[in-house]
A = this chain, B = another copy of it.
Amino acid sequence: MIPFNKPYFSGKETQYISESIKSGKISGDGMFTKKCHRFFEEEMSFEKVLLTTSCTDALEMAAILVDIQPGDEVIMPSYTFVSTSNAFVLRGAKIIFADSRKDHPGIDESTIEELITPQTKVIVPVHYAGVACDMDKIMELANKYNLFVVEDAAQSIDSFYTNKNGEKQKLGSIGHLAAFSFHETKNIISGEGGMLVINDKRFEGRAEIIREKGTNRSAFFRGEVDKYGWVDIGSSFLPSDIIAAYLYAQLENLDSIQDKRKLIWENYDNAFRGILDKKYGIGLPFIPHFASNNAHMYYIICKNIEERSSLLKFLKEEGILAVFHYLSLHKSKFFEDSYQGQELYQSDRYSDSLVRLPFFPELSMQQQDLIISKIIFYYNNRKRYNN
């Protein structure tokens, strides 16, 4: 069976974990957490970062930092992971779901303004597949209506947005806050893991506090206060240093991981483009002119849910594990009764029709050739399968 994902292992992870253990501190903010923080802040030039136990936790930190109060409205795409919304729901927010673009699963920026009300507090662009949302447009709206922007950059490591001035901006560096994921399905991993990026200095002090269970422990250890105690709400958002040690080995190999992933992405795209799309009307990834491609995922978009089910079944029988992705959150059991917005046709279309293909650095050429040939075979013969 060709799996959908295989967690990447560079070889140095276990060595660094041993070093972390030998350091005498494997709880949060140990030596490898500091190394990771430095890597992101110095090598990658993020303003200020804090590792978390998950991207979910980073989003929860963001929801606390922007001070969500019951009834505050948060605009986000319906086609996203459940944590994008739950992080704000936990603070009492009312979620306002937007549709996706027709050419890409990211939020349709042209639909956002009409969703803004006096209660709106935050816009959460989700850079689906690491492909940038139209951040100029979103930041303009945020400025115009005095809103916060929290980038859900879960899939967006090493990806960029080119703004109207032609400047390349790292995803996760544009909104007031951003959340990354290092879950094992991402480009750079630590099993479970995440990171909050703080681009607005106003949040830096409080971010440290809520990450340390609502205490001013970090300031205490820097000698800024003479004792530490309970000063705010908060949680234990910081990961064990063992997790940071795994992550650091991945970060050191970011370039080689990305080279491998980009090759896999190009192989899929070269095999499919001009064939699946032109001949069979299958959707292929679209990278807007302002976005880069970090080769996080390769997806195809079937005609409908029946075709997708048939294709997934066929591939499974051939030993290939392709998978679908999100289900529109506005139609979830948790939310559907309270949803009062319009139909979100694109969100529903991606929910029904998008297929993610196996994608991991160790996917061999032979495996990829097999996947490609089986998919093309399926469409060449789909009358046989599609009933």
Q: Mark A187-198, 1 if CB is under 8 A from B, else 0.
A: 001111100000
Minimum CB–CB distance from A106 to chain B (whole Å) comes to 20
- The residue that A327 contacts in the complex, of B85, B86, B227, with Cβ under 8 A, is B227
Minimum CB–CB distance from A27 to chain B (whole Å) comes to 4
- The chain B residue with its CB closest to the CB of A28 is B192
Interface assignment of A284: CB less than 8 Å from any CB of chain B: no
The interface residues of chain B lying within 8 Å CB-to-CB of A85 are 230
Task: Evaluate contact between A86 and B235: CB separation under 8 angstroms.
Answer: yes
- The chain B residue with its CB closest to the CB of A327 is B229
Stretch at the interface among A42-50, A275-283, A332-340: A332-340
Task: Evaluate contact between B230 and A333: CB separation under 8 angstroms.
Answer: yes
> Whole-angstrom distance between the alpha carbons of A83 and B253 in the complex?
36
The majority secondary structure among interface residues of chain A is loop
Tell me the A residues contacting B by CB distance below 8 Å. Answer: 3, 6-7, 9, 13-14, 17-18, 21, 24-28, 30, 53-57, 60, 81-83, 85-87, 89-90, 183-185, 189-193, 213-215, 227, 229-236, 238-243, 246, 327, 329, 332-335
* Most central of A6, A334, A335 by chain B CB within 10 Å: A334
Excluding A7-B24, A27-B184, 7 further A-B contacts by CB distance (< 8 Å) are A53-B239, A56-B236, A83-B213, A86-B213, A86-B214, A192-B236, A229-B332
The interface residues of chain B lying within 8 Å CB-to-CB of A27 are 7, 183-185, 191-192
- The chain B residue with its CB closest to the CB of A235 is B56
The interface residues of chain B lying within 8 Å CB-to-CB of A232 are 334
The interface residues of chain B lying within 8 Å CB-to-CB of A236 are 53-57, 83, 192
> Whole-angstrom distance between the alpha carbons of A231 and B242 in the complex?
32
Task: Evaluate contact between A191 and B26: CB separation under 8 angstroms.
Answer: yes
The interface residues of chain B lying within 8 Å CB-to-CB of A227 are 327
5 smallest beta-carbon distances between A and B, as pairs: A191-B240, A230-B332, A26-B191, A56-B236, A54-B236
Task: Evaluate contact between B231 and A333: CB separation under 8 angstroms.
Answer: yes
- The residue that A243 contacts in the complex, of B3, B24, B83, B243, with Cβ under 8 A, is B243
- The chain B residue with its CB closest to the CB of A217 is B82
The interface residues of chain B lying within 8 Å CB-to-CB of A241 are 191
> Whole-angstrom distance between the alpha carbons of A193 and B193 in the complex?
13
Minimum CB–CB distance from A362 to chain B (whole Å) comes to 10
> Whole-angstrom distance between the alpha carbons of A243 and B189 in the complex?
14
- The chain B residue with its CB closest to the CB of A243 is B240
> Whole-angstrom distance between the alpha carbons of A357 and B53 in the complex?
30
The interface residues of chain B lying within 8 Å CB-to-CB of A184 are 25-27
> Whole-angstrom distance between the alpha carbons of A306 and B3 in the complex?
63
> Whole-angstrom distance between the alpha carbons of A30 and B191 in the complex?
10
Task: Evaluate contact between A235 and B60: CB separation under 8 angstroms.
Answer: yes
